[in-house]
């Protein structure tokens, strides 16, 4: 336990250096998006930090942005040639075994989270997360949450490392069947229902959070640290959809970072 606390203290002492490196990554993403007319906006805790703190949440150690799926496809096409050599576009194709979320990673750092797999050689540097948004059907939020929880949980279990056992054999069929059922229902609702909502894709939206499309677009701007960045059209409502009373600070015990260990610079 003492060793674990020492690692966390080491990460806390390097938090600001980590944040500044993430900010530099964000500025590179912004430069590429501005050049190619790709829409993106600050999302999640990064938008919350901009609104409540004018920058990073003091204990936060990541940056979240979002793009529509079509814009993200364009970004995946142009970014590899546009990013400096120190940065890497990490996708399920370019670096398998890292999960479904697309990231821009720094290659000269180490950022370790709970669950990172040391047997897999995927890049583990400091990063910015890019979340893909899609149209959502106009169905009750409780239905969306039920479907998204089922899809995200099933996807996660089906894609985690398995060892040969009766349990893993049973999990494959049980969660495989659940995934197919929930995915079929989701596509049916998307096909048959009107769509005025916009949100993260189901497999990484386990909370079932959605936004009215006019809450997101057209984009506005917001100050984050020392620069202006794109933000949802109605950032206040966007954050209320996610956090409720977002201006209320969480209790001390809930002010946790994501990383277990951070080394902002390797060489």
Rounded to 5°, the CA angle 97-103-104 comes to 125
> What would the two tokens of residue 17 be?
């250096």
Residue 1 has pLDDT above 60, yes or no: no
Q: What is the pLDDT of residue 219?
A: 98
| Helix (H/G/I), strand (E/B), else coil: 89 | strand
pLDDT tens for residues 98-110? 778 999 999 999 9
Judged against a pLDDT cut of 70, whether residue 163 lies above it is answered with: no
pLDDT band at 3; cut points 50, 70, 90: low
pLDDT band with cut points at 50, 70 and 90 for residue 64: very high
HSE-up (13 A, CA, CB side) for residue 223: 5
Which H or E run includes 45? helix 44-53
Q: Hey, where are the domains in the chain? A: 2-133+214-263, 141-192
CATH architecture label of 2-133+214-263: 2-Layer Sandwich (3.30)
Tens-place pLDDT, residues 142-153: 999 999 999 998
Give dist(CA 190, CA 139) in Å, integer.
10
Q: What is the DSSP string of 173-216?
A: HHHHHHHHHHHHHHHHHHHHS---EEEE-GGG-TT---EEHHHH
Q: Which of 12-16, 28-32, 148-152 is modeled with the greatest confidence?
A: 28-32
Q: In the chain, what percentage of residues exceed pLDDT 90?
A: 73
Average pLDDT for the chain: 92
Give the whole-angstrom CA distance, residue 205 versus residue 207. 5
| Mean pLDDT for the stretch of residues 197-214 | 91
Is the pTM of the predicted complex or chain greater than 0.85? yes
Angle at 124 between CA 121 and CA 130, to 5 degrees: 120
């Amino acid at each position: 336990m003492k060793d674990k606390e020492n690692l966390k203290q080491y990460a806390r002492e390097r938090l600001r250096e980590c944040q500044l490196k993430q900010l530099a990554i964000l500025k590179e993403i912004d430069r590429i998006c501005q050049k190619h007319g790709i829409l993106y906006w600050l999302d999640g805790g990064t938008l919350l930090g901009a609104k409540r703190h004018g920058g990073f949440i003091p204990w936060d150690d990541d940056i979240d942005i979002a793009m529509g799926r079509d814009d993200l496809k364009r970004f995946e096409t142009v970014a590899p040639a546009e990013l400096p050599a120190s940065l890497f576009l990490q996708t399920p194709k370019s670096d398998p075994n890292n999960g479904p979320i697309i990231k821009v990673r720094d290659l000269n750092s180490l950022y370790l989270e709970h669950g990172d797999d040391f047997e897999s050689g995927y890049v583990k540097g400091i990063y910015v997360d890019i979340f893909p948004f899609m149209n959502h059907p106009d169905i009750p939020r409780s239905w969306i949450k039920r479907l998204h929880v089922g899809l995200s949980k099933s996807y996660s279990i089906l894609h985690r490392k398995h060892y040969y056992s009766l349990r893993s054999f049973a999990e494959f069929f049980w969660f495989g069947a659940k995934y197919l059922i929930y995915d079929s229902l989701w596509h049916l609702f998307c096909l048959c229902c009107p769509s005025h909502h916009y949100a993260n894709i189901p497999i990484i939206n386990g909370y079932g959070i959605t936004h009215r499309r006019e809450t997101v677009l057209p984009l506005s701007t917001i100050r984050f640290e020392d620069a202006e960045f794109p933000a949802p059209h109605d950032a206040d409502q966007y954050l209320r959809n996610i956090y409720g009373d977002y201006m209320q600070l969480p209790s001390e015990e809930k002010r946790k970072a994501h990383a277990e260990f951070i080394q902002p610079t390797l060489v």
